[in-house]
Amino acid sequence: MTLAICAQDISKNYNIQNVHTRALDTISLEISAGEFTLLTGPSGCGKSTLLAVLSGMTKPDRGTVQSGDFVLTAASDQERDAFRLHKCGFIFQGFNLFPGLTAVEQVQIPLDYLKIPEERARQRAERALDSVGLSHRKHLRPAEMSGGEKQRVAIARALVKKPAILFADEPTSALDRENGERVVAILRAIAHRIGSAVLCVSHDLRLFSQADRILEMEDGKLRRDLRRPRT
């Protein structure tokens, strides 16, 4: 299995107005390409902080994070921005779509940043929308779409550049059961078909049966690491 990210002994503390929080406490972890990994644990245990550290958005106080030869924890802000642009996709609970843009325009944005020519970018954006079952919605703006459709646009935007690593933070929590299951099936397919390492934070127990691996956190520590044989 190819390793997408390797983290060693990472710790992260927050000190705000004399309140000291140990958000991550000496966590070591490897995330593999082609695997759909679920990250779970109680509110405040450090899941979002862990995603931020693994994607280079936040620097840990101690420890190293590495992707291939690239050491995120030794890199400059600019180098980490470039790493995220070229290697990572992100999906969040609140969709984060631009109100004025149509679905296909939203999905095209990352390709514009990557300076992919307009015509090819448009074709790839349309294919990505097709892969999440939204070809027929490509000209709609967010206000004209359901929550499930908006989340699928956000997924298409994250997968259109075929990211090595896809980070998702509670992507199903604003969705009903049917849409939630659909989103999870798409995330799983991204890992298995595109070969991305998909790391998804979720509280939703119903999603567990879909994961290749389940990581459980508590109080900033990794408590359990359960890998399932592929079916």
Binding site for Mg ion (CB under 5 A): 48
Q: Is 27 in the site for ligand ATP (CB under 6 A)?
A: no
Residues 89/158, Cβ–Cβ less than 8 Å: yes
Binds ligand ATP (CB under 6 A): choice among 5, 47, 159, 202:
47
Tell me how many residues contact ligand ATP (CB under 6 A): 12
Considering beta carbons, is residue 53 or 165 the nearer one to ligand ATP?
A: 53
Binds ligand ATP (CB under 6 A): choice among 5, 7, 10, 23:
23
Q: Is 13 in the site for ligand ATP (CB under 6 A)?
A: no
Considering beta carbons, is residue 89 or 110 the nearer one to Mg ion?
A: 89
Considering beta carbons, is residue 48 or 66 the nearer one to Mg ion?
A: 48
Stretch that binds ligand ATP, among 38-46, 60-68, 158-166, 188-196 (CB under 6 A): 38-46
Considering beta carbons, is residue 47 or 152 the nearer one to ligand ATP?
A: 47
By CB neighbour count within 10 A (0-12 exposed, 13-18 middle, 19+ buried), where does 58 fall? middle
Report d(CA 198, CA 178) in Å as an integer: 21
**Chosen from Mg ion, ligand ATP, none, partner binding at 49 (C-beta under 5 to 8 Å by type):** ligand ATP
3-state secondary structure the chain: CCEEEEEEEEEEEEEECCEEEEEEEEEEEEEECCCEEEEECCCCCCHHHHHHHHCCCCCCCEEEEEECCEEHHHCCHHHHHHHHHHHEEEEECCCCCCCCCCHHHHHHHHHHHCCCCHHHHHHHHHHHHHHCCCHHHCCCCHHHCCHHHHHHHHHHHHHCCCCCEEEEECCCCCCCHHHHHHHHHHHHHHHHHHCCEEEEECCCHHHHHHCCEEEEEECCEEEEEEECCCC
Stretch that binds ligand ATP, among 42-50, 68-76, 100-108, 191-199 (CB under 6 A): 42-50
The nearest distance, CB 93 to Mg ion, in angstroms, is 9
Q: Is 21 in the site for ligand ATP (CB under 6 A)?
A: yes
Q: Is 219 in the site for ligand ATP (CB under 6 A)?
A: no
Q: Is 49 in the site for ligand ATP (CB under 6 A)?
A: yes
**Chosen from ligand ATP, Mg ion, none, partner binding at 66 (C-beta under 5 to 8 Å by type):** none
> Footprint of ligand ATP on this chain (CB under 6 A)?
14, 16, 21, 23, 41, 43-49
